[in-house]
């Protein structure tokens, strides 16, 4: 349990904060590097716990692999070890991980010849996997639960006999993450063709490729939220305005919070120009990882709103919709959630009554709560959860005057 206190730094210098490397980009390259070790040269990787967990899993000689709370690692490792002939692997994680569905991916892999057994509840980890050479060909999978199922299939497609023609049988969520997977595969020299609801992945790397890295746009949402709530200008280092990450949409959406971004010497300078008077209305179906920071920032600005496209937030590290509802109500706001949408109304003054804010074992919830400290000292129950994606988050926030005690 830690208290967050904000004291604006003296002097007129604009703080410079740096985002971590993208775990999403790194995790995709790690799978390709494990499949094609002679073709992919490993470069600097994200320090995020999720990336470390996946890297250690892929390099492990153990038959029992603990993936903790790393959802991406669970989905990607399930596909990888299914396509690794002769490997017998037991994949498990936290109690919450064993509540996160994986049946659509398992069913698709089984249709390609994979042997996977549920070691607990049907449709959920833990899993026992007997690796085989998958035959490839056509595969069908729903796309409305998690884009990671699609990405996992795409990444192991080059390890199959004939590549994969992936048929999506429902509306796709988080399409930009699939686009990111496409970009990584193409950078590695693998062919990806997308036509309506079909994705054809085939071929293998033709040469040696150095694994590129990018700063994490999802993490930058916390910095945009800080400027939106505090009014403090900051410079964000490490981002690319030509990123393959879909969450670079933040460049446009910062304006929804009254924040103007400008590129200066390769860095992103953020200034709050105003607090918008109108309610916030956004569809985050393709960008769910931005939801918590954007919603909490708008509420802290004294605005109401309606955000749709939150369908996948129920099965993340926590039920993120429920977490947002509880925090907003704790601060005196009123909310309504209807499955994939969240409505909230503003309150004249936020109710900081000394209660401890829960982070719900969720890194993005902890980062979304941080800007509240610009308005009033707050206490959070677990500051360590940020290690999942941004281990140095609190160190960076010290630069703006936010301290943990």
Give catalytic residues, as residue numbers: 289
Q: Which residues contact 344 (CB under 8 A, 6 or more apart)?
A: 295, 299, 304, 305, 328, 333, 334, 335, 336
Hey, what are 44's tokens?
């600097």
Contact of 41 with 211, CB cutoff 8 Å: yes
The DSSP secondary-structure symbol of 11 reads: S
Tell me the CB-side half-sphere exposure of residue 56, using CA atoms within 13 A.
14
Q: How far apart are CA 192 and CA 180, in angstroms?
A: 12
Hey, what are 253's tokens?
């959406």
Q: How far apart are CA 206 and CA 186, in angstroms?
A: 11
> How many CB atoms are closer than 10 A to CB 389?
24
CA distances from 368 to 140, 281, 319, 374, 393 (A): 36, 18, 15, 12, 12
Residue 287 sits at the vertex; the CA angle it makes with 364 and 144, to the nearest 5 degrees, is 110
End-to-end Cα spacing for the chain: 9
- The strand pair at 2-6 and 378-380 is best described as antiparallel
Q: How far apart are CA 93 and CA 96, in angstroms?
A: 8
Q: Does residue 47 sit in helix, strand or coil?
A: coil
The DSSP secondary-structure symbol of 21 reads: B
* Nearest residue to 14 via CA among 340, 379, 262: 262
> How many CB atoms are closer than 10 A to CB 165?
18
CB-count burial class (<10 Å; 0-12, 13-18, 19+) for 78: buried
Identify the H or E element spanning 54.
helix 49-59
Contact of 76 with 148, CB cutoff 8 Å: yes
Q: How far apart are CA 145 and CA 149, in angstroms?
A: 8
């Amino acid at each position: 349990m830690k208290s967050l206190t904000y004291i604006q730094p003296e002097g007129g210098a604009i703080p410079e904060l740096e985002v971590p490397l993208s775990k999403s980009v790194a995790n995709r390259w790690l799978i390709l590097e494990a499949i094609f070790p002679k073709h992919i040269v490993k470069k600097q990787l994200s320090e995020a716990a999720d990336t470390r967990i996946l890297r250690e899993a892929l390099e492990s000689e153990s038959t029992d692999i603990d993936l903790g709370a790393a959802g991406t690692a669970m989905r990607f490792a399930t596909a990888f070890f299914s396509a690794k002939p002769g490997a017998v692997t037991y994949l498990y994680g936290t109690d919450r991980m064993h509540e996160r569905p994986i049946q659509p991916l398992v069913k698709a892999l089984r249709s390609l010849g994979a042997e996977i057994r549920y070691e607990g509840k049907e449709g959920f980890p833990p899993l026992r996997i007997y690796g085989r050479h998958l035959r490839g060909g056509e595969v069908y999978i729903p796309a409305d639960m998690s884009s990671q199922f699609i990405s996992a299939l795409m990444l192991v497609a080059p390890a199959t006999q004939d590549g994969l023609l992936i048929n999506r049988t429902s509306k796709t969520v988080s399409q930009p993450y699939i686009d990111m997977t496409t970009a990584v595969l193409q950078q590695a020299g693998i062919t990806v063709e997308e036509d309506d609801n079909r994705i054809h992945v085939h071929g293998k790397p033709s040469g040696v490729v150095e694994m590129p890295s990018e700063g994490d746009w999802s993490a930058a949402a916390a910095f945009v939220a800080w400027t939106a709530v505090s009014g403090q200008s900051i410079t964000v280092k490490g981002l690319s305005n030509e990123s393959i990450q879909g969450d670079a949409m933040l460049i446009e959406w910062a304006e929804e919070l009254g924040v103007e971004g400008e590129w200066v010497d390769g860095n992103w300078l953020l200034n709050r120009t105003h607090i918008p008077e109108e309610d916030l209305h956004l569809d985050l179906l393709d960008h769910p990882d931005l939801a918590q920071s954007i919603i909490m920032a708008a509420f802290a600005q004294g605005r109401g709103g309606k955000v749709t496209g939150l369908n996948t937030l129920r099965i993340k590290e926590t039920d993120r919709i429920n977490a947002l509802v509880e925090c907003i109500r704790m601060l005196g706001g009123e909310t309504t959630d209807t499955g994939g949408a969240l409505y909230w109304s503003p309150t004249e003054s936020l109710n900081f009554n000394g209660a401890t804010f829960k982070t719900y074992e969720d890194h993005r919830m902890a980062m979304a709560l941080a800007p509240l400290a610009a308005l009033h000292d707050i206490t959070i129950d677990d500051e360590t959860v940020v290690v999942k994606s941004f281990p140095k988050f609190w160190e960076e926030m010290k630069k703006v005057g936010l301290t943990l005690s």
